[in-house]
A and B are shown apart, each in its own frame.
Chain A
Amino acid sequence: MTGIGPLEPGEGTWAREPAEARPAPRPWRRRTLLIPATACAVLAAGAALWITRPRPAPPPELPFPAQTVTVTFLVGRSTAPHRLAFDVRLAVEPGPPLTVTRVSQPYAGMSAESEPRAPFRTAAGSSRVITVTMRVTECGRVPKNAALPFLEVTLRNARAIQTQSFILGPRYTRYLSRALGEACGESTPSSPKHPRRLNS
């Protein structure tokens, strides 16, 4: 082996195969890469769209009954020994219908009832006049000079039952003070008429 012959190829002596000599990638192979990528992108987009999809707003919560009612003192009707009557307006805001289950007052020495007699329903978005009659059972224990007298009204709607104190303001305060004085014989009754019989 002394003659010059072709060199045996050693490590790194292989010539690079020309690029054009490589077999061209077949179209199906590119597609196999593209399909999973596309699927991922579509899934991601779908997920994003699903997460951010417009959702129907939850139905509004029903309000508690006391938040839907206004009670306003209107006018005194009559007084008689141990008895007085006055009108209030009960207004109910639009929304769920409301039932008045009780009308009462917090003072010892007297009791209250209403016409219409409780329980009664008042349609939402409407108002009605209620006549409250108070009977004095013990003149020595009535609030003839209360600073902020109130009526207690128990209300019910589809959401809850609540007893709310309705503070009827200075006109009611003055009226109650005068009427209780009259009902307890401390001054002449303002009206000679006999009171209507209510709820009895």
Chain B
Amino acid sequence: MRQRSLIAITAALSAGALTLTACGSRDSGDNGSDAKGGTTVTIGIDAPLTGDLSALGLGIKNSVDLAVKNANKKEYVKGVTFKVEAKDDQGQPSSGQQNSTAFVTDKSVLGVVGPLNSSVAESMQKVLDDAKLAQVSPANTGPGLTQGPDWQKKKVRQYKSYFRTATTDAIQGPYAAEYVFNKAKKKKVFVIDDKKTYGAGLAATFTDAFKKLGGKVVGTEHINPDTKDFSAVATKVKNSGADVVYYGGEYPQAGPLTKQIKAAGAKVPLVGGDGIKDDTFFKLGGPAATGDYATSVGAPVETLPSAKQFVADYKAAGYKEAYAAYGGYSYDSAWSIIEAIKKVVDDNDGKVPSDARAKVTAALQNVSFDGVTGKVSFDEYGDATNKQLTVYSVKDGAWKAVESGTYNGS
């Protein structure tokens, strides 16, 4: 009898152990994109996945994928399994528009994260808004996308389906001007832009604020982003007597530009916005990039406990590419859509309603949660209410945070 009892206990313990081990295996091997039954909802991603800007685009894609995996692992929305559908816009507005049309056609898509470029967003907004399909960009900073082309005089919301987690160049440009003029003590600037929506817009907001502070613009130039020879512009910078260069554009051009400016003999720092804040900038610029500056959206990752978890999860997920400048914002963009879907599903007895897209767009307006980058919510224009910025400088082959600012316009 005692012997039979021993066998029974052993069997029970072994079975328990096996069960626990099996549970652990299932969790660790769980793929967020695998269906677990219920309704499958797709979150679209539009970003440059190939080409010069792919370092940023792939960081966006991976971070959204991580958010979806976490939502599925937690079964955050009961009865809903999320999956991602990533489309490459190559930084081209026409591709972004085609991708938007494809997302609209796929009825399982209830939200889109992206794009990177403001110029691409302009081509996507109407297509998605006509279908009431929510869009949250982690990276667009052009003020007109939310507040209209005349935003400096009268703000008018453009599309109810468009939101963003990044702050705008209406703040980023002046914030950079304040730093350059008051802290870096630079008074004569040479302004260069790439003629694109983002670059030209950012250069304009910087220039306006720099002049208001008493700074002098000693030269302006536009470059062609399709070339890498900026020697003529570099010579103009050298001859202008500028003590700083401001560049409105992105890192594929900014890296060679700073190298050629210094090679021309102008030993002055180059300052740019979030578009140059990628490691590729100083890889392209080499030692000449040391001492250059970039402003970027958000507080430094190391000062955000919430971001620490994101960084650990991202590493554990084993993505090949870095999460880059917009990783945290991409995760939060995806999670804002997930929160909106959760609200809609919960309000509909646990089922995805037939008019889910319109309801998700409406719910997005009211989401509020503690995200990777801090509190996530949107104002009446669809802009992020959390407006933080940081100045970074290239030092010892890395971007180092110099100082941060918080905007509170209320």
Chain A residues in the interface with B (C-beta under 8 A): 31, 34, 37-38, 41-42, 44-49, 52, 60-64, 66-67, 70-73, 106-108, 141, 143, 145-150, 160, 162-171
Contact = CB atoms under 8 A, between A and B. Distances in A.
B408 A168 contact: yes
The 3 closest A-B pairs by CB, nearest first: A169-B409, A165-B405, A148-B174
A162 B402 CA distance: 11
Interface residues on B, range: 35 or more
A170 B299 contact: no
Nearest to B21: A48
A66 B404 CA distance: 9
A106 B182 contact: yes
A170 B409 contact: yes
Interface in B187-218: 208-209, 212-214
A170 B155 CA distance: 13
B10 A41 contact: yes
A67 B171 CA distance: 19
Contact of B178 (A31, A148, A160): A148
A108 B182 contact: yes
Interface string B1-45: 001001100100110110011011000000000000000000000
Contacts of A67: 299, 303-304, 374
The prevalent SS among residues of A at the interface is mixed
Contacts of B17: 41, 44-45, 47-49
Contacts of B3: 31, 34
Contact of B182 (A48, A107, A169): A107
Contacts of B212: 143, 145-147
Nearest to A31: B3
B303 A64 contact: yes
B404 A147 contact: no
Contacts, number: 119
Contacts of A72: 408, 410
B134 to A, nearest CB: 27
Given A67-B374, A147-B212, 20 more contacts: A34-B6, A38-B7, A42-B13, A45-B13, A48-B20, A52-B20, A52-B23, A63-B305, A64-B303, A71-B406, A148-B209, A150-B178, A163-B403, A164-B404, A165-B405, A166-B405, A168-B408, A168-B409, A169-B408, A171-B409
A147 B404 CA distance: 17
A26 B88 CA distance: 75
A73 B406 CA distance: 13
Contact of B404 (A45, A63, A148, A165): A165
Given A52-B24, A66-B303, A165-B403, A147 B410 contact: no
B151 interface: no
The prevalent SS among residues of B at the interface is helix
A169 B374 CA distance: 20
Contacts of A160: 303
A100 to B, nearest CB: 14
B282 interface: no
24 contacts: A31-B3, A41-B14, A42-B10, A52-B20, A52-B23, A61-B308, A62-B305, A67-B299, A72-B410, A141-B214, A146-B178, A147-B174, A147-B212, A148-B175, A150-B178, A160-B303, A162-B303, A163-B403, A164-B405, A165-B178, A166-B406, A166-B408, A168-B408, A171-B409
B408 A70 contact: yes
A171 to B, nearest CB: 8
Contacts of B182: 106-108
A66 B299 contact: yes
A115 B263 CA distance: 51
B320 interface: no
A160 B300 CA distance: 14
A62 B303 CA distance: 10
Contacts of B177: 147-148
Contacts of B369: none
Contacts of B175: 148, 165, 167
Contacts of A52: 20, 23-24
Contacts of B13: 41-42, 45-46
